[in-house]
Amino acid sequence: MKIERAAGRISVTALTALSGVHIAWGLGSPWPLRDRQTFSNVVTGRPDPPGPMACFAVAGALGTAALLVAGRPRRSPALSRIGTAGVAAVLGVRGVAGLSGRTDLLSPGSVSARFRRLDRLAYSPLCVALAASTAIAARRSR
């Protein structure tokens, strides 16, 4: 299997899983944490948890990203290619912002100390890794 294909599968799987987690959060689950307030502090860095519509909007964006990286729509490869590059760019910007401690520029109010620590240790590196795998996957459609 070529590296571009493997990178695409990794990206699609991760984006789809993340979309599913956001759907669960939109339905009120604090998973993997014990309650909504801890969830809000750890996952968003804010005192109040995000509303269902915000969670569903992110889930929709992640699901759409997964489809683009998977090569959809097949009848419009240019759209898929441009969309995949866009997904890589957005994930890259999010990752760099978090690693530099400035996620609050993209998501105002994300300032709790616990969130910022986890953002630098886990969330942002995940975004950078997904940006890289998505960018590699975008090469397969050339």
- 140, 4 contact by CB (below 8 A): yes
- Mean pLDDT (whole number) for 58-85: 94
- Mean pLDDT (whole number) for 84-108: 96
Q: Give the pLDDT of residue 75.
A: 93
Q: Give the pLDDT of residue 1.
A: 60
- Mean pLDDT (whole number) for 52-60: 97
- Mean pLDDT (whole number) for 51-64: 97
pLDDT category of residue 139 using cuts at 50, 70 and 90: confident
Q: Give the pLDDT of residue 140.
A: 72
